[in-house]
Amino acid sequence: MGLLRSLPMLLVVLLIWISHLKAQSTSPARALDALLQDYAFKAFVRPKTGIPYDGIVPSNLAGIKIAAMRLRSGSLKKRGVPMFKEFMIPTGVVESPYVERLVLVYQNLGNLSMKYYPLAGYTYLTPVLGLLAYDASNLSATNLTELYIRASGEPITIHFPDVQSSPAGANAKCVWFDLNGLANFSSLASGNVCSTFEQGHFAIVVESFAPAPAPVFPTPPSGGAPNAKKTNKKVWIIVGSVLGGLLLLVLLSILVLWAQKYKQRKKMQQMEKAAELGEALYMTSVGETKAPAAMVTRTQPTLENEYVP
């Protein structure tokens, strides 16, 4: 049947569509990284090395803070950076691929943390802070790819100044998002300090008491929550339509299979009937003289004629 044969094709199309959605869903945070790299680099006007420069974000990103610092890579490795905002960078941090000078970009996502780094089942006790590194050879370059930085000795530490108090009995944890957006949890180094050996985004979180989603840290009087709700709703609509589509597909294939089976059964019945009819006719023709009405009682004539003890 045509429909049944095109089912695998339909499934493939559906799968491609789903993977496309999935690929798209990882992009907002990465798009933000690219945008903030651009705005952070704009903070540099004849920059001195080793000095943090605060950047200005566009008004649609109000609530986010950024800063940038240019460094010689040799100096980063030998001396580290005692304090770059909340980040304490020890000696021994190296980047790859190697560049002569690099720019460290700092991000504080503030009240937009939840929007860009939604974390189901957890509540943020701090904003999400980011530390990323870029090649400093062209300060007007955009869309740069991040350098991979790694602490070869002591870890980089993040000192969160204001940690919301966690509910009694709840266990606060550090979360680290790598550049693919994958979350990895670790225990706090101390009350408000997390540590890392790599670049990425960091925060202190606590498991929410399911099922009620706990509120975010400092929510502004308006704006943030509805926005998060909107993205949430969008995700649900997508998930819902995907599931609905799949269900429809399953129902359709069941219907097709059932129709096929029904057709087959009907055919079988017809064949049976035909066979029966044939047999009956045969019987009547055999025992014509004895049983002209054998159509109804087809076995009787045989019994009478051919019964062998």
- If the CB atoms of residues 14 and 35 are measured against ligand NAG, the closer one turns out to be 35
**Omega before residue 292 within 30° of 0, cis:** no
Among 47, 50, 52, 63, binds ligand NAG (CB under 6 A): 63
Cα separation of the two ends of the chain = 53
Among 16, 51, 56, 141, binds ligand NAG (CB under 6 A): 141
Site string for ligand NAG, 19-58 (x = CB under 6 A): -------------------x--------------------
Among 96, 138, 187, 269, binds ligand NAG (CB under 6 A): 138
* β-sheet bridge partners, residue 177: 183, 201
142 touching ligand NAG, by CB under 6 A: yes
287 touching ligand NAG, by CB under 6 A: no
Nearest to 208 by CA among 119, 271, 148: 119
Interface positions, 100-119, toward ligand NAG (CB under 6 A): 110-112
182 touching ligand NAG, by CB under 6 A: yes
Provide, rounded to whole angstroms, the least separation between the CB of residue 177 and ligand NAG. Answer: 10
- If the CB atoms of residues 223 and 278 are measured against ligand NAG, the closer one turns out to be 223
- If the CB atoms of residues 140 and 190 are measured against ligand NAG, the closer one turns out to be 140
227 touching ligand NAG, by CB under 6 A: yes
143 touching ligand NAG, by CB under 6 A: yes
- If the CB atoms of residues 81 and 86 are measured against ligand NAG, the closer one turns out to be 86
Greatest pairwise CA separation for the chain in angstroms:
121
Options 9-17, 47-55, 220-228, 250-258: segment touching ligand NAG (CB under 6 A): 220-228
Which residues contact ligand NAG by CB under 6 A?
38, 62-63, 110-112, 138, 140-143, 182, 184, 186, 220, 223-224, 227
